[in-house]
Structure 1
């Protein structure tokens, strides 16, 4: 799927496919240096991190294992319930492992903060975070994000794993939707 396939649903492209590829390459080079000689486990947060983790892992020159988690902090609709639930847990034991948590976007950071605490309780050697996109509210939470692809304003974005109503994840870029797509 590309911009032409979206017709008038696409408002604008914020981060191009080439920018994403370049940034993943840069971050992978940093990770290769930071984890040289260390056992690395990439943990993707489903569903959004699928594209990020796949592309990042292919750019690494460092062997790594991969696993996935899915969490939810929403009750009915789009209102947070305040309770985080693990929908899919890790299959790999992370005790004494170096964990790199891979995210597509960090909005408020509240759920991710809970997830980092949960993972740290399992005795890993380290837990670090890579997110493709960080939004302004993420700065309000005490959460150390080691690798950031891009900082974007607080807009609703789609593409490169990010969805609206489970659509648009397969776009190779990150953009915004035209108001008629989600408007009332």
Structure 2
């Protein structure tokens, strides 16, 4: 989906598809250098990270394995409480593995902090995070993220896997959703 097709739903495009692909290529080169000689288990967090994981995996020039998790932070309202349920667990044993979590966006950091700790307690040799987007102003906990694509303002964004009510995930860019859509 092109942003021009839904421009009435958006206030601005923050990051274009071309900028995303260039940044993922840059991150892939860093990852390859850091993991040279060590096999990577790339773990995507469903559903939002699908685009990031697919495009990052295609950029990597080394053999990787991939697996998926679905987790949910729940509670009253729309904000993460840090209480996490696993909706879909990994099919792969992470014991002794070098795990790289591929994530679309870091808001509060609560879920990602829990996920890292969970994978570490399962015996992973290492757990690092690669996130396309980070909202520093929304952070509630510090999460050490080794690979960050872009820092963005604390606005409601959609596209490139990010949704509102399961819509806009297939928007090629990352854009700010207009308040009239969700208010």
Q: Which bin holds the TM-score, normalised by the shorter protein?
A: over 0.9
SS in 1 for 2:111: helix
**TM norm structure 1:** 0.95
Structure 2 CA distance for aligned equivalents of residues 162 and 69 of structure 1: 16
Q: Gaps (5+ residues) in structure 1?
A: none
Structure 1 CA distance for aligned equivalents of residues 13 and 35 of structure 2: 33
Indicate conservation of the 8 Å contact 2:52/2:132, yes or no. yes
Number of equivalences: 183
Look up the match of 1:167: 167
Look up the match of 1:73: 73
Q: Kindly report structure 1 stretches of 4+ aligned residues shifted beyond 2 Å.
A: 79-82, 137-140
Indicate conservation of the 8 Å contact 1:108/1:138, yes or no. yes
Alpha-carbon RMSD: 1.3
Look up the match of 2:22: 22
Structure 1 CA distance for aligned equivalents of residues 81 and 147 of structure 2: 29
Would the alpha carbon gap of residues 82 and 99 (structure 1) be closer, same or farther in structure 2, given more than 3 Å must change?
Answer: closer
Question: Cα offset for 1:102?
Answer: 0.6
Q: What's the CA shift string for 1:99-118, capped at 9, x where partnerless?
A: 00010000010111011110
Q: Gaps (5+ residues) in structure 2?
A: none
Structure 2 CA distance for aligned equivalents of residues 133 and 145 of structure 1: 11
Structure 2 CA distance for aligned equivalents of residues 27 and 54 of structure 1: 14
Look up the match of 1:63: 63
Indicate conservation of the 8 Å contact 1:109/1:137, yes or no. no
